[in-house]
Amino acid sequence: MHSFLTPFLFFILLLTPILTLAQQQKPSIYIPPSKSGYTYLGCYNETTDLPDTAGLRALNGGKNVVKPGEMTVNMCLEFCSTGAGDSKGGNTAMFEYVGLEYSRECWCARSLSGLSEKFPDDACNLPCDGNATQICGGNLKLTVYKAGTMKSLASLSAAGLAAVMTMISILF
């Protein structure tokens, strides 16, 4: 029995670093710092293949860039942080919505199509070409970020929290 355990233990010890490395490389949703001006919204479907959309994208009417081998979430957020119309008629405002698709595509728009539905986060499962630890959408799926900050219940004042609780009790 001892002769069987030695090669088996050696194999396990040899395999452990490989498994650990594989676990470390699993891509995850990137949560940008608040200074970026964007927050993670979720995983949404692309709308180009839906009936009656005339091929319009979920993030339509803005700008886009495709960077094979280079795309990261930060690159896309930076790309979309300017170029939208501003109050002075220029293009210095940030786009409201940012989406990454198919590991290398970055889409910016002022709105997200009402036909685009939210999916579970794991439906967006492709790593970014430029940073394999970050999720950059999926096949006809967009990892979407929205301009602004999301309010959490922890940041609400007592009055604000009471108002939210009242609304919840009315709805349910």
The least confident of 12-26, 42-56, 68-82, 140-154 is: 12-26
Domain span holding position 111: 25-153
Task: Judge whether 82 lies within some domain.
Answer: yes
Count of beta carbons in the 10 Å neighbourhood of residue 79: 19
Task: Judge whether 14 lies within some domain.
Answer: no
Using a cut of 0.85, tell me whether the model's pTM lies above it.
Answer: no
* pLDDT confidence bin for 2, thresholds 50/70/90: low
Task: Judge whether 49 lies within some domain.
Answer: yes
Q: For the chain, how many structural domains are there in total?
A: 1
Distance CA 55, CA 163 (A): 41
Task: Judge whether 70 lies within some domain.
Answer: yes
Task: Judge whether 1 lies within some domain.
Answer: no
Are the beta carbons of 168 and 111 closer than 8 angstroms?
A: no
Distance CA 39, CA 145 (A): 5
Average pLDDT over residues 78-85: 91
Give pLDDT, residue 53. 86
Distance CA 79, CA 95 (A): 9
Pairing relationship of beta strands 105-109 and 118-119 according to DSSP bridges = unpaired
Task: Judge whether 128 lies within some domain.
Answer: yes
Task: Judge whether 113 lies within some domain.
Answer: yes
Give pLDDT, residue 91. 79
For residue range 103-127, list pLDDT tens digits in order.
999 999 999 999 999 999 999 999 9
Q: Which of 109, 79, 106, 84 is nearest to 94 (CA)?
A: 84
Task: Judge whether 115 lies within some domain.
Answer: yes
